[in-house]
Amino acid sequence: MNDLSDVIEADRAHVWHHLTQHKPLETNDPRIIVEGKGIRVWDQSGREFLDAVSGGVWTVNVGYGRTAIADAVHAQLVKMNYFAQSVGSIPGSEFAKKLIEKMPGMSRVYYVNSGSEANEKVFKMVRQIAHKKYDGKKTKILYRDRDYHGSTLATMSAGGQDERVMQFGPLAPDFVRVPHCMEYRAQWDLTGAEYGRKAADAIEEVILREGPETVGLLCLEPVTAGGGVIEAPEGYWERVQEICKKYDVLLHIDEVVCGMGRTGKWFGYQHYGIKPDFVTMAKGVASGYAAIAITVTTEEVFNLFKDDPSDKMNYFRDISTFGGCTAGPAAALANMQIIEDENLLENTTKMGERMLANLNKLAEKHEVIGDVRGKGLFVGAELVQNRETKEPAEEAKVGAVVAACNARGVIIGATNRSVPGFNNTLCFSPALIATADDIDEICNAVDEALTEVFGG
């Protein structure tokens, strides 16, 4: 019963894995993750791993083996599994109400099945608003260097990680990049809040260059994820909000990674006192127990699509087939209940502080750690060859650190296929249930891996 050789061969012969060069799998077995419990997973050989990346891509926020979520999904599927979201469902209505209670100022929930799709819906809404309200002129969508918003052609067009879009062009028009806000790799000779305001002012410069009458949306991650786990300096978000209001630009916050507790609040933007027009989310909404993603917007935006019912074009003419699946909101309800019942926002804050402290202590020992940063259980450690010049560590050596941690039974991540020359940040996003012992085990593995790869 434990012989998985047929599964391994079926995988090797027929499965096209994501983000994977398959040539090595002609002679090496693909990895099959067989089971998960809590914060740990087991592969086909029976090896146990502490998962410090929540399913590889920041998703399994409440951990593996949650029978409460599985039972909720099972019960809902037996009762009513699907109907197109042109009508309603019980879990869809119930989760929308509960979600909006966590998001003051927001009011409308649009269900889809992936983060890329959730972001694309915003882009379509903004383009339609441009035609309805601005004579077709405010179609340009601004996005930030190093940010990531998805893998469809439109969301790649809003991608600030050049390696992720190479060879996929030509991309969609009217997507315009603005500078990043990363103080560690400063573009201006300023620090702190002055740097934050200057980075935001750079957005205003782009708006003025393009023409405010042409710019409809600014799309930002609250904490940049795959571009290096980057939190904006003080002063940045207040100035961003001012600029959006000044030029009548809608503000879209992409919470696909940060949403549902990852940063210690329900949503990352809630740390910064901003009021977005759109918020998108996916990964942690149901912790991977069902496919669900959401575009949330304000009543003001929603009302723009119903002001003239006599016009057959005057509504959001869009559908997401699997936005009508009831498993997603059923799982999301149970997922949110777990976060509340187990005080996981508080735990995330405490364990995040512990991880940052541990990694900063490691930086005293390992010169290769140039910068430690993050929010909650969303943490990065940038590796450099020289702290003075901040020359990035070699990508192969960063990969070797990940492999060395894996050999010690700890799965961590690293920026890759992202910013050319800057794929040098170790990434950590353990489940929100992580304990102090889990955090210490992760950091101990990193300590040993850095010594193995870089010496010291």
Condensed to tens digits (0 to 9), the pLDDT of residues 434-450 reads 999 999 999 999 999 99
Report residue 2's pLDDT band, with 50, 70 and 90 as the boundaries. confident
Average pLDDT over residues 158-170: 95
Q: Which two tokens stand for residue 44?
A: 């086909």
d(CA 93, CA 267): 20
How large a percentage of the chain has pLDDT more than 90? 97
Omega within 30 of 0 (cis) for the link into 420: no
Of the candidates 31, 67, 69, the residue with the CA atom closest to the CA atom of residue 49: 31
Beta bridge mates, 40: 37, 50
- Give pLDDT, residue 303: 96
Listed in sequence order, the residues at least 6 apart from 305 whose beta carbon sits closer than 8 Å to its beta carbon are: 125, 128, 314, 315, 316
How many Cα atoms within 13 Å fall on the side-chain side of residue 406? 15
Mean pLDDT of the chain: 97
- Give pLDDT, residue 1: 57
- Give pLDDT, residue 3: 87
DSSP state letter for 37: E
DSSP state letter for 64: B
DSSP state letter for 207: H
Task: Select the more confidently predicted residue: 172 or 1.
Answer: 172
pLDDT tens digit sequence for 232-259: 999 999 999 999 999 999 999 999 999 9
**Consecutive H or E run containing 363:** helix 344-365
d(CA 332, CA 398): 35
Residue 387 near residue 370 (C-beta atoms within 8 A)? yes
d(CA 276, CA 280): 10
d(CA 330, CA 290): 9
pLDDT at 260 over 80: yes
Judged by phi (left if over 0) then psi (alpha if -120 to 50, else beta), residue 54 lies in left
User: Residue for token digits 């927001």?
Assistant: 106
Of the candidates 452, 451, 441, 392, the residue with the CA atom closest to the CA atom of residue 412: 441
pTM of model > 0.95: yes
Strands 230-231 and 33-37: unpaired
Beta bridge mates, 371: 382
pLDDT tens digit sequence for 103-147: 999 999 999 999 999 999 999 999 999 999 999 999 999 999 999
